[in-house]
Amino acid sequence: MTDYLASADHALLKRHGLDDFEALWALQLDAVDEPNTGRGGWSSVFRLELEGKGYYLKRQCDYLTRTLHRPFGEPTFAREFRNISRYQKLHIPALQAVFYGERKQGGQHRAILMTRALDEWVDLDSLLARWAQLEHAERNGVLQACGQLARTLHSAGQVHGCFYPKHIFLRQRRDGWDAQLIDLEKTRPLLFGMRDRLKDLEPLLRRARSWNEHDVRTLLATYLAQPAGGTLVDTWLQRLTQRRREKEAR
């Protein structure tokens, strides 16, 4: 396949001699954490800064996933890049790809996925850790942003598959909050209506233990475009609570 390089970043990468696969693969950087191993290979993440702009450069070798459509395997980044591209076309707020490419060399299957760093954003996990210290208006803004993000996602016919606090990033504006998603590898089409929607939302509520019932109702009110005390919100809250109890009991 042809390498992808975002036009907005092309000039910057070219100035630093990093506008092709080979240069990005050879670049010496310190990994941000321990490499993932398994699947017969490895996958690692690096931080890169160029002229004040932050990026995450992810490289993997023989780190493949196999499906019915690709029985011989493909890099896990390939699916993630396709999903990033799909989200962009569907106008679902999510991380942005800067570069993607694959090479088969010396019996190895290599892949690079480079994305823009979300340096002006904060993950929901961090906000939940200080939830009680946030102002009422801040809490409501975060809940509404998360509800709108889920509404946009599902209205576009997509299920995230890992709708966890650590995968939701937020940024405060003068008149509210923006929210977007990362880690799109498990995204799939929404096929089973309410069942899929509940399955996607429940892990978020199970992990957001700082939220009380009023908080969850605020999120669901935005997600469903209904009053927080309305019958439809009651139904969804009941179904989500039941699903969470079943999960926790396992």
Task: Find out whether 214 and 139 touch, Cβ atoms under 8 Å.
Answer: no
Question: Which residue, chain included where needed, has tokens 């396709």?
Answer: 82
Question: What's the distance, CA 18 to chain centroid?
Answer: 25
CA separation (Å) from 196 to 136, 146, 161?
A: 31, 17, 9
| Residue 166 confidence (pLDDT) | 97
| Residue 7 confidence (pLDDT) | 96
Chain segment 201-215, per-residue pLDDT in tens: 999 999 999 999 999
| Residue 1 confidence (pLDDT) | 62
Give which of 114, 12, 125, 102 is closest to 55, Cα–Cα: 114
Residue ranges of the domains in the chain?
A: 9-116, 122-244
Q: Is 122-244 a CATH 1.10.510.10 domain? A: yes
Residue ranges of the chain with per-residue pLDDT less than 50 = none
Alpha helices in 56-193 (DSSP H): 76-90, 124-129, 136-155
Tokens encoding 171 = 């940024």
The mean pLDDT of the chain is: 94
Distance CA 173, CA 58 (A): 30
Chain segment 86-127, per-residue pLDDT in tens: 999 999 999 999 999 999 988 899 999 999 999 999 999 999
- CATH for 9-116 (3.10.290, 1.20.58, 3.30.200, 1.10.1060): 3.30.200
End-to-end CA distance of the chain: 44
| Residue 222 confidence (pLDDT) | 98
Distance CA 181, CA 42 (A): 24
